[in-house]
Structure 1
Amino acid sequence: MSMMPMSNADYLERVQYAEELASIDKARKEKGLTFEALAEKVGVNKVWLTSALKGQQWVPEEYCTKIAEALGLTMETVGVLNNHPYKGNTDPILYRLHEVLDTYGPAIKEIIHEKGGNGIMSAIDFGIDVDIQKDPKGDRVIITWNGKLLPYSKQGKYPW
């Protein structure tokens, strides 16, 4: 039996809890809340919250409770956010973000090493923000990443 490849839309919508996520987003819209406004109510970063509501983040129970309260939903609906998600993407914006890292990643790595020593950027001790800057020549997307500089581990036998 041959399997048809998924379209981008099918791939992005294959989320395990699609019905619950749709209910959460519907409640957010019915309350007239932007992702940023909801994030402020919950006390979290807007990019992280948006990612969570798209099924791409694990949400601690305390934040599930705050989201449920802010949206007037049950924990049964919002509690699905407390499951560890399968992450993936094929959307054009996400593709471009990968393209940026493919193109500029080696240069970013070299500059991190040049300025910070032979370390890496943490994706655990990490912050991110996104804004749109108005520009008469075309609005600009501003993405700020803020990851802790970590030294490479020297555990184990070298070279490994």
Structure 2
Amino acid sequence: MTPILPKHEAATLIDAARLRQGLTWAELADLLGTPLVWTTAALLGQHPMTLEQARSVCERLGLDETVEESLRLQPSRGTSPEVMADPTIYRFTEALSVYGQALKALIHEEFGDGIMSAINFEVDIARRPHPDGDRVVVTLDGKFLDYRW
């Protein structure tokens, strides 16, 4: 029996097929009827897909059942050391390192003792024109979960 294709290998095949066909992540999200950021994360290995979702995207990209099978796996979420070396991902880590304590304090002041869920969660990205250069707007929208005894 052959092992299931690792999610990071499936992601490499998906991205190559997407680029070679001139498709955007938004077009794949539209195909699946799923949110853009979720779809991109799922296709890069951070969320499991349903059989129907995996089959649909693999048919569109011309990928076989080994990729489809991988897309349905539960992921090991997080970031590898190689990915952390990427400047864009590192800047997100840096921003949370600098502002994380302040955000935590403000959440507690506004909501009380608890956390922002990253499970009951929405994330979006947008471009905002600015005279000094366009701005990247990232919205993290998580349900507040209070600590209860």
- What TM-score bracket applies, with the shorter chain setting the length? 0.7 to 0.9
Equivalent-residue separation in structure 2 for 1:71 and 1:18 (angstroms): 17
Equivalent-residue separation in structure 2 for 1:36 and 1:153 (angstroms): 39
Asked if the contact 1:122–1:147 (Cα under 8 Å) also holds between the matched residues in 2, the reply is yes
State the secondary structure of the residue aligned to 1:141: strand
State the secondary structure of the residue aligned to 2:74: coil
What's 1:24 paired with? 14
- Report % sequence identity: 41
Question: Which residue identity lines up with residue 99 of structure 2 in the other structure?
Answer: Y
Asked if the contact 1:24–1:78 (Cα under 8 Å) also holds between the matched residues in 2, the reply is no
1:36 correspondence with 2:23:
no
Asked if the contact 1:120–1:151 (Cα under 8 Å) also holds between the matched residues in 2, the reply is yes
Equivalent-residue separation in structure 1 for 2:48 and 2:144 (angstroms): 23
**More divergent stretch after superposition (24-33 vs 88-97):** 24-33
| 1:1-160 pair list within 5 angstroms | 16-86=6-76, 87-88=78-79, 89-90=83-84, 91-154=86-149
Asked if the contact 1:133–1:140 (Cα under 8 Å) also holds between the matched residues in 2, the reply is yes
Question: Which residue identity lines up with residue 24 of structure 1 in the other structure?
Answer: I
Equivalent-residue separation in structure 2 for 1:68 and 1:153 (angstroms): 44
Asked if the contact 2:10–2:71 (Cα under 8 Å) also holds between the matched residues in 1, the reply is no
Asked if the contact 2:114–2:144 (Cα under 8 Å) also holds between the matched residues in 1, the reply is yes
**More divergent stretch after superposition (18-27 vs 29-38):** 18-27
Question: Which residue identity lines up with residue 44 of structure 2 in the other structure?
Answer: K
Equivalent-residue separation in structure 2 for 1:116 and 1:17 (angstroms): 37
- TM-score, normalising length: structure 2: 0.80
Asked if the contact 2:114–2:145 (Cα under 8 Å) also holds between the matched residues in 1, the reply is yes
Question: Which residue identity lines up with residue 139 of structure 1 in the other structure?
Answer: D
Question: Which residue identity lines up with residue 87 of structure 2 in the other structure?
Answer: P
How many aligned residue pairs are there? 140
Which 5+ residue runs of structure 2 have no aligned equivalent? none
Tell me how far 1:110 sits from its aligned partner: 1.3
Bigger radius of gyration among the two: 1
Question: Which residue identity lines up with residue 127 of structure 1 in the other structure?
Answer: E
What stretches of structure 1 move > 6 A for 4+ residues in a row?
A: none
